[in-house]
Amino acid sequence: MQNFELTNKSSHGLVCPECGNTNLRATPLEGPDGERFVRVWCRDCDERGFFEITELPENADLEDWPAETVGTLQHEWREWHQWKNRHLHPPPRWPGPVERWLGRLLIAGILGVALLLVVDRIQLFGVILEDEIVRQQHIEDYRQQLLRAPCLSPALLRTLRNVPIRYTRERAVHGNFIQYGEAGVYWGEEQIKIHRSNFWFFGTPKTGQLVDTLIHEARHRTSPALGHSVRFHLLVNRDTECVLNQWE
Ligand SMILES: [Zn+2]
Ligand SMILES: [Zn+2]
């Protein structure tokens, strides 16, 4: 095994990938089975490398090495240097803690919404949770508050006082429309029906919606000739707004 030292003082040839200087030492080595190696060392920053090369130049001066050999060595040293740095200073891992928490939050949100939808369906079939009596009581409370509000015409108040208002669990979706209530007047029913779409999942009334529905259906019964005309909506909106302004 031969072991001698090559030096390279000029800027020609090999460059240290760490500091860019050319003050290097290169030591060619020969293995027991004729493998050729070269050990390189930067005198300025102590960066080192050890590489197998196909051909060991005969002359001892690194400057006189074939450009191809120096180029290969330079390439391998640079690759090694980059690989080493990547593993010594790995980039921050993704996802980081914040992203991971955001992910969990998102999943929890999706599960929550899915659960509410399932509960909603279950309620529709009346298996659990939906308490019709409580909802009917809410409707009665709302009726009483509407009667007390100084907003509605005597005719509308008469309707609200005299017509039965019933909570119904009937399917409230017709085509693409959500149905909130039925006046009944157009097909001769002596009652107003209030659909479950006026309530939140667990039975709390959607205040604005339920007030609007009650006034809407009471107006149909009071002034059936108006239909869904512009005048009808003006009246309903005016009354609803007035009532909601002083809702307790
Ligand atoms: Zn260096
Ligand atoms: Zn209507």
pLDDT given for residue 14 in this prediction: 85
In the chain, the number of structural domains is: 3
Mark whether 122 and 165 lie in a shared domain. Answer: no
Q: Which ligand is nearest to the CA of 219?
A: 2
Burial of 37 (0-12, 13-18, 19+ CB in 10 A): middle
Let me know whether 159 and 70 are in one domain: no
What distance in angstroms lies between residue 63's CA and the mean position of ligand 2's atoms? 96
Its domain, for residue 222, covers: 132-245
Cross-strand partners of 40: 26, 49
How far is Cα 21 from Cα 214, in angstroms, rounded to an integer? 86
* Per-residue confidence in pLDDT tens, the chain, 248 aa: 344 455 554 435 789 999 998 888 888 888 888 888 888 899 999 999 998 887 766 655 666 777 888 888 899 999 999 998 888 877 777 777 888 899 999 999 999 999 887 776 666 665 556 788 999 999 999 999 999 999 999 999 999 999 999 998 887 666 667 788 988 887 788 899 999 889 887 788 999 999 999 999 999 999 999 999 999 999 999 999 999 998 88
Distance in Å, CA 242 to ligand 2 centroid? 19
Is the domain of 150 the same as that of 218?
yes
Please give the single-letter amino acid code of residue 209. Q
Output the CA 154–ligand 2 centroid distance in Å. 20
Residues within 5 A (CB) of ion ligand 1: 16, 18-19, 42, 44-45, 47
24 C-alpha to center of ligand 1: Å?
A: 8
Could you give the dihedral angle defined by the CA atoms of residues 87, 89, 93 and 97, in that order, rounded to the nearest 10 degrees?
140
Measure 209 CA to ligand 2 centroid, in angstroms: 13
Q: Does 236 map to a domain? A: yes
Residue ending a domain, among 100, 129, 158, is 129
Judgement on whether residues 154 and 208 belong to the same structural domain of the protein:
yes
In a domain, 1, yes or no: no
